[in-house]
A and B are shown apart, each in its own frame.
Chain A
């Protein structure tokens, strides 16, 4: 009898082991959602990795370093390993690469579009819906060792930008927008007044006028051999903003691609017409708008407000030699508009994403650090490095920060006029900002938008024509290249599709084997039973 029990035990153990192994085969094992621990364990050492982005700005690096130092002083058992990047796409690429090896950082600076892709891996990121409201460790929680903001103290619009299909997928860190930087000295010398809200018509008119030349072949406006009147840094933002302002389609929350419409065609033809005259160029074709502007070779530039410290003859940061710089006054305006009475500008800037890990204490440590990035000191310090706005009302309304804003123009360093003018413009236009729908594939759509502008401008510069036939062909090319419309909306878990044929055969074989074993066990039992009865 004992032998029979042992046999049965081995049989069930084998069955359980087989099932376990099989269950692990199809797809990666999704990590369970993060659940807040009962308490923070400060009895053991923990290391968290933070991938941070700066704008090639050493002061920003110093803010990060100081932030890490101060956080570690508050939580001595948490060690933050800081890795520096200077562009978002590099972080994105590294995260994508590291997801497959489960070596993602704990916290990273990112764009919402990118988080949408990270979300396609089940359990990869920590949804913060419940986390922020935890009474002990949530925003403004009772157990925090620092004075962080409450949920209500984060600018609601900025927090909403991180909500995707019902989930809060991260926290805003800083917000910026784009600005139209104008060489006021040259534009007024051309006889133009600068409106409070420039329109696209005004920008194109001034740009074309700036191409007037002297008899000696130099440009009348600057007396130089080079003049690119209008340069747009981010051509993806350019097309997106123009579509938004004109009420035309780009994409929707369902991930549908709406960009290939008549208005897009009209906009691209208009841009191309000014590319053809050389009144307009792009960063990818020519270089940084600030470099040309500071040399007096560009009079209208759209660039991020986070690049404000590079623009203007007194700019604290510059890539060009001192001998190339010219003197001029810079003014800041909202990006060009189709309707000056209905200002619309893009909201952008870094957000914070937290990656899920097996150890809830490690995730809690990550969350505490992410919150620390929202404290007044970090928010204000980082904001002051560039044309960034703090994402918390707590920091925006802090008397120290208000004093900083009030001192605009008193020096060309911390209180650089152009930078603070950008910040004020964003704060005044918080309700006029927009974002584009975020979905798995939205990053590719954004790239495609920029590519179309670049293609059109390059084509006309090279003697080609941008007409309906050209656009139709280009739409097809970029659709294919960026696989637009192919990505499916993710609900947080990866759809692995139907089982492959080999897997079906394998599972069938296993099923048959276990069926045979079952029949054997039953038959054996019956035989023994019958044998015992006959005895």
Chain B
């Protein structure tokens, strides 16, 4: 009897301890309010590696294939997209180049993607997608996207989009050097959202420092980093390390935090627009 009681008590204790270890739904924060950013650091590493290896071979798709995509039923070419009015429904086939962190809003997963084909680039803002699909959409992935063309503070984008992951070709753009066009906004706008690079710029003073967290220093470490670069003529331009694209643990974030006024740097990133050109930087190299 003693043994039986001891065994029963021990079993009960073990069961109770097991029960304690499980997660109760009741303790889970209200999911409707939960917005969790997943840093896209892994992707960042992949893209940066491809680019720094500088491969023209990475562009595996051909012009003929791009034309075939545009000829597919209902699919626009980049020229058609560029000519379309804001609020027009658009369907394009494009290739993922990079992505901001995946997050969930009111139970719906979202992410913002930088995409490009041989002819131009498309910024897919807050496109609903599952975490699983987000993980599948690595640089080079071919996707078909249907959404609406929009313009927000000058940035041309596709919003309220749906997508289909296509197999087959991959395409990773090589950064185009626009250093000689840096003072020409119209020329830069023609490369909106594309993967671009600027070389030999000088870190200029920004509010008494080489960079600020937030555009005016009103944010903390971990948030977007803004910095100013000057060209040979002394014209100053603003660049940003968008924290949802490259977080505080990434090489580029740390590289910019180590900038000193007067450093000469090369910059690579995506030609984002906010009331003017404002590159989302993915690589920063001090010469």
Contact = CB atoms under 8 A, between A and B. Distances in A.
Interface of A: 14, 18, 21-22, 24-28, 54, 56-58, 60-61, 83-86, 89, 92-93, 96-97, 99-100, 117, 120, 285-288, 291, 319-321, 324, 440-441, 443-444, 447, 458, 461-463, 481-483, 487, 494, 496-497, 502-503, 506, 509-510, 512-514, 516-517, 520
Interface string B28-67: 1110111110000000000000000000000000000000
A320 B24 CA distance: 50
Given A54-B218, A481-B108, A506 B34 contact: no
Interface of B: 1-2, 4-5, 8-9, 11-13, 15-17, 19-20, 24, 26-30, 32-36, 87-89, 106-108, 148, 150, 152-153, 160, 207, 213-220, 223, 274-276
A28 B218 contact: no
B220 A84 contact: yes
A160 B85 CA distance: 49
A28 B23 CA distance: 10
Contacts of B160: 458
Given A56-B218, A462-B88, 4 more contacts: A93-B34, A444-B33, A506-B15, A509-B12
Contacts, number: 139
The 4 tightest CB contacts between A and B, nearest first, are A513-B8, A287-B153, A510-B12, A93-B35
A28 B27 CA distance: 7
Nearest to B7: A513
A520 B2 contact: yes
A509 B11 CA distance: 9
B36 A25 contact: no
A516 B32 contact: no
Contacts of B275: 291, 319-321, 324
A200 B19 CA distance: 59
Nearest to B160: A458
Given A21-B13, A502-B19, A506-B16, A61 B218 contact: yes
Contacts of B153: 287-288, 291, 319
B148 A462 contact: yes
Given A27-B27, A97-B29, A513 B12 contact: yes
B30 A287 contact: no
A62 B245 CA distance: 28
A447 B33 CA distance: 11
A54 B219 CA distance: 8
Contacts of B36: 93, 97
A58 B148 CA distance: 36
A355 to B, nearest CB: 14
A98 B214 CA distance: 23
A285 B32 contact: no
Contacts of A503: 19
22 contacts: A18-B9, A24-B20, A27-B26, A56-B218, A58-B207, A58-B216, A83-B220, A96-B29, A97-B29, A97-B34, A458-B87, A458-B160, A481-B108, A482-B32, A483-B32, A496-B26, A506-B12, A506-B15, A512-B8, A513-B8, A513-B12, A516-B1
A21 B216 contact: no
A496 to B, nearest CB: 5
* Candidate in B160, B216, B217, B223 with the most chain A CB atoms within 10 angstroms: B216
Contacts of A85: 219-220
Contacts of A502: 19
A88 to B, nearest CB: 12
Given A27-B26, A97-B29, A444-B33, A482 B106 contact: yes
Contact of A120 (B19, B30, B152): B30
Contacts of B13: 18, 21
Contacts of B9: 14, 18, 513-514, 517
B211 to A, nearest CB: 14
Contacts of B29: 96-97, 99-100
A513 B108 CA distance: 47
A509 B15 contact: yes
Contact of A100 (B28, B152, B215, B219): B28
B276 A27 contact: no
Contact of A516 (B8, B16, B35, B274): B8
B152 A286 contact: yes
A18 B218 contact: no
A365 B239 CA distance: 41
B214 A56 contact: yes
Contacts of B217: 58, 61
B208 to A, nearest CB: 11
Contacts of B107: 481
B206 to A, nearest CB: 12
Nearest to B12: A510
Contacts of B216: 56-58
Contacts of B220: 83-85
A441 B106 CA distance: 12
B32 to A, nearest CB: 5
Nearest to B2: A520
A135 to B, nearest CB: 37
B15 A56 contact: no
Contacts of B17: 21
A510 B16 contact: yes
A514 B214 CA distance: 62
B87 A462 contact: yes
A18 B11 CA distance: 11
A67 B108 CA distance: 39
Given A321-B275, A481-B108, A25 B20 contact: yes
Contacts of B150: 285
Contact of B5 (A93, A324, A458, A513): A513
A395 B5 CA distance: 70
B215 A56 contact: yes
B19 to A, nearest CB: 5
A56 B213 CA distance: 11
A92 B1 CA distance: 56
A321 B276 contact: yes
A238 to B, nearest CB: 19
Contacts of B219: 56, 84-86
Contacts of A83: 220
Contacts of B2: 520
Nearest to B23: A100
